[in-house]
Homo-oligomer: A and B are copies of this chain.
């Protein structure tokens, strides 16, 4: 029996196992429309200048600035350049060309006069022939002209490597005509929940007793499969396999080998404590598993192993223990892999006195009150799965602390 580990020591063990997955990893090429939320595998450079061509910043008239030095001045409107006009146009000196925002600035023009500075607002179907526009204000060369390449030069980086693609990145990539982008593959996490007592409500397969309980006396509904799946996805990874097994050795071993074959990382719940039917411990130990006690509550029994090159993290099976273990040990590693910021760990004040157990770091379920303080939700016991649904933080109480007073600062983990 090894002495209990601290939370920090076990977190380091898990980080050592998981971090190689986060840095390296395979990549895939995705069309832009499927790449939202994914992380770039390499910097993306532009094949084009942005803007692609010299264009107008305003609806108005393209002129030579030298023709509007003395205002007011009347200029013949020699033509019209709508946005999307695909034929290059040359400005006849001493005239004006009506132009729309985004349309290519004609050769010979160096200034756009906004329509507000003129006396001539023409509609879509008006005949421009013979029209004369009077311009009331002079403009400097280059005013309201967007020069080609003024946003980005061909060859410049559009999006750096390691960036989670949000709307603004996709907009820049799309604007530069990028059709597809190389992104990191999502981390594939296999989920195995164990326990002979577990039946699944989700599939509608459980036979029910007349009072709504599972038909089988002594059976409980599996909460850990769906909780781990949601936690994995909230953390930006993807569930590769999700299997519930009994505590039969061969059944679990087959499920483990299937999961390992399909996953970058496998998470198990249950079967690692000191009981007589601890299937995860029994199957993992021949693979060199470290089965340890971590000085924390909930979440004491923990194990780690590497099976066929794939890290396996084993959490205890009480639903609260499973969720707390994931939150404390794995959440931020997965989030980092997905380019997500670490979930918040911050300081808050306690709303009321709180008692803890000396010798184990407690992760009590708590909730934030409107005044920003936090209070404990229900008791510390790890089977209180319904109480945990009312929590929005874990209150992190150091191992050496026995009581905390109202107003004391505590560390809280946002759920």
Contacts and interface: CB of A to CB of B under 8 A. Distances in A.
A388 B319 CA distance: 44
Interface stretch (A130-138, A251-259, A379-387, A399-407): A379-387
A277 B221 CA distance: 62
A197 interface: yes
A72 to B, nearest CB: 20
Q: Among A48, A171, A221, find the residue whose CB has the most chain B CB atoms closer than 10 A.
A: A171
Contacts of A389: 158-159, 168-169, 171-173
Contacts of A123: 276
Given A50-B385, A102-B220, A169-B389, A276 B195 contact: no
A126 B275 CA distance: 13
A32 B176 contact: no
Contacts of A167: 226-228, 230-231, 234, 323
A217 B102 CA distance: 12
A218 interface: yes
B32 A100 contact: no
Given A59-B273, A221-B177, A151 B53 contact: no
Contact of A166 (B33, B82, B225, B415): B415
B202 A31 contact: yes
Interface in A1-60: 31-33, 36-37, 46-48, 50-53, 55, 57, 59
Interface stretch (A204-212, A304-312, A349-357): A204-212
A283 interface: no
A371 interface: no
Interface residues of A, number: 114
A246 interface: yes
Nearest to A379: B150
A83 interface: yes
Given A100-B277, A167-B234, A169-B389, A176 B87 contact: no
Contacts of A46: 386
A196 interface: yes
Interface string A165-204: 1111111111111110000000000000001111011101
Interface stretch (A63-71, A114-122, A284-292, A332-340): A114-122
Interface in A315-354: 317-319, 323
Contacts of A223: 170-172, 174-175
Contacts of A31: 202
Nearest to A100: B275
A163 to B, nearest CB: 8
A104 interface: yes
Interface in A354-407: 378, 381, 383-389, 391
A62 interface: no
B219 A388 contact: no
B82 A277 contact: yes
A233 interface: yes
A150 B121 CA distance: 76
A286 to B, nearest CB: 15
Interface of A: 31-33, 36-37, 46-48, 50-53, 55, 57, 59, 80, 82-88, 98, 100-104, 115-116, 121-124, 126, 146, 150-152, 154, 156, 158-159, 165-179, 195-198, 200-202, 204, 206, 208, 211-214, 216-231, 233-234, 246-247, 273-277, 282, 317-319, 323, 378, 381, 383-389, 391, 415
